Structure 1
């Protein structure tokens, strides 16, 4: 009975070893096939397009406007907490088609934009007005607005920058408990 049990164990071990060798050979063959495929792709001049890629075409310049901003950043300097800064960025359409601003978004709730809502013909001027409310802000500030339009690139960013001093900057604030 013990001999049958030992024979059975030896047979099981041999069977397992034989199977693992077949698996290793199978894995080696798959790795070799993948390495060959990679080598073939690297040496060929063909471009592989992913299945989920969308086809794009270069934009026709005749269908695009082009921003011509004399300045893309406005330094408002040092102001006090609570002051409101307003700046108008003027631009010229240097493109071949009417420039259409589809949307403008601000980087934070403290900044609100307004802009020319009608198409700006080539050679004509338009504006982007940016209002920054410094209430509750202190230190260096650099709010931006992102303009989406029929330009290349289709997003253009304008920036305000400056420093906001806290309301009580001049008053000495006590440190620690105050004795009365």
Structure 2
């Protein structure tokens, strides 16, 4: 009887050891295209736990200080969804950018790199519209002077 108990205990432990959460992101990269300098560009990466155990994200590490991550802090149960949000501060950073947020979790793939990219257009480079100018009257040379107006005739009161 003891042998049977230990066999089932071992089998149960082995099954739990193989239980693993799996993070499956809808997309692992996002292109903002062109954004104006000073814009706070934010994108939310959504994922589903397709595994058999809860997934816990322990950290999301940005590649630099201009990118701020936020993520689902509570365990994500199998079949449920979570998110990782990446915000890029474009102030003072004109030109192309390509930033990563490294997600660290207890999933089957413990580290996953998410990428955001785009191009920051410097302030003041937008096409400016010139102020409207009143039309200037044109003068034609050798034009005949306008005929003087004739005084109107008075009607007599008869």
Equivalences for residues 81-100 of structure 1 within 5 A = 81-100=37-56
The Cα of 1:170 is off from its aligned counterpart by 4.5
**Equivalent residue of 1:71, what SS?**
coil
RMSD: 1.4
- CA distance, structure 1, for counterparts of residue 126 and residue 57 of structure 2: 43
Matched, 1:144 2:100: yes
Note the 1:54-69 alignment, pairs <5 A. Answer: 60-62=17-19, 64-69=20-25
The CA distance in 2 between the partners of 1:111 and 1:61, in whole Å, is: 35
In the TM superposition, residue 100 of structure 1 has moved relative to its aligned partner by 0.5
Tell me which residue corresponds to 1:111: 67
Taking the aligned partners of 1:152 and 1:117, their CA distance within structure 2 comes to 18
TM-score (norm 1): 0.59
TM-score norm. by structure 2 comes to 0.66
What does residue 161 of structure 1 align with?
117
CA distance in 2, matches of 1:142, 1:133: 12
User: Which structure shows the bigger proportion of residues in strand conformation?
Assistant: 2
- The aligned residue for residue 89 of structure 2 is 133
Quick check: which has more Rg, 1 or 2? 2
Corresponding residue number in structure 2 for 1:121: 77
- Name structure 1 gaps, 5 residues minimum: 1-59, 172-180
Query: Which consecutive aligned stretches of 4+ in structure 1 deviate over 4 angstroms post-superposition?
Result: none
Mapped to 2, the partners of 1:167 and 1:61 lie a distance apart of 54
Higher relative contact order, chain-length normalized (CA < 8 Å, sep 6+): 2
Q: Give the helix-richer structure, 1 or 2.
A: 1
Residue 122 of structure 1 aligns to a residue whose secondary structure is: coil
Can you give the 5+ residue segments of structure 2 that lack an aligned partner in the other structure? 1-16, 128-158
Distance (whole Å) between structure 2 residues aligned to residue 78 and residue 94 of structure 1? 34
Q: How many residues align?
A: 111
